Amino acid sequence: MSTLTLTVEAIRKTLSPPRLATYETAMSQHGRSDPQAALALYAWNAEISGTLLFPLHVCEVTIRNAVAEALEAIYGERWPWNEAFARTLKPISRAGLERSRGNLTLTSKVIPELKFSFWQQMFTRRHDERLWNGYLRQVLPNHDPQSTISTLREQIYADLEQIRTLRNRIAHHEPIFKRNLLQDYLIIRQSIDRRCPFTAEWMERNQRVTAVLPLRPAP
């Protein structure tokens, strides 16, 4: 057995055959059944996952700050401790808020403790009357002016669901190569642009997603 074969087998054992099976199957379907091809796809999947972290970072911070701005306008600077606000939440979101508050005393410290799903859930219909009818266009101003608030809010929720799913797969080191990653990236960019085109353009200039996407191993 060659040194290369031994090396490939050692890596395969370390990462685990079940984990690599997804990549081996993907390459074998296109006539490339050698383990090296699967490892090349695995390495690219990890690299593209890494490049997406920066756009995801900017997107999450952008969205949570937009929601926090709207909440502060209605419930005050200490909105995480406002009981009237807490009563508007679903039980799972309220539990998440209470857990994130912990022993903290500053809103600025609570915001980063809240999960992405909390911010996404703020874009459900239950918050239209209290929150979004008056503040969606204010905190996320770059929308089609002809669309209704409910239509815009539903689109934001759907986009955040796609972003959340991608984010979770990356966080758990799962395959993302089967996704339309360019579409994922464009939705992330659009989500940032809704609040601030300048921030979206800055992110665009500094991201590496579009440079790494074409480097995917054939096929």
Segment 164-176 shows an average pLDDT of: 97
| Tokens representing residue 41 in the block | 């796809």
- At residue 2, the pLDDT reads 66
DSSP class of residue 128? I
Segment 18-24 shows an average pLDDT of: 92
DSSP class of residue 79? G
Could you tell me which residues come within 8 angstroms of residue 53 by beta carbon, excluding any fewer than 6 positions away?
170
- At residue 29, the pLDDT reads 82
Segment 104-131 shows an average pLDDT of: 97
Segment 96-103 shows an average pLDDT of: 95
Residue 115: how many other CB atoms lie within 10 Å: 15
Greater confidence (19 vs 29) lies with 19
How far is the C-alpha of 67 from the C-alpha of 187, rounded, in Å? Answer: 18
Greater confidence (141 vs 5) lies with 141
CA angle 119-123-126, nearest 5°? 120
**Residue 19: pLDDT over 60:** yes
Q: What is the DSSP string of 66-81?
A: HHHHHHHHHH-TTGGG
Segment 196-219 shows an average pLDDT of: 95
Greater confidence (113 vs 35) lies with 113
Nearest in space to 121 (alpha carbons), one of 152, 92, 86:
92
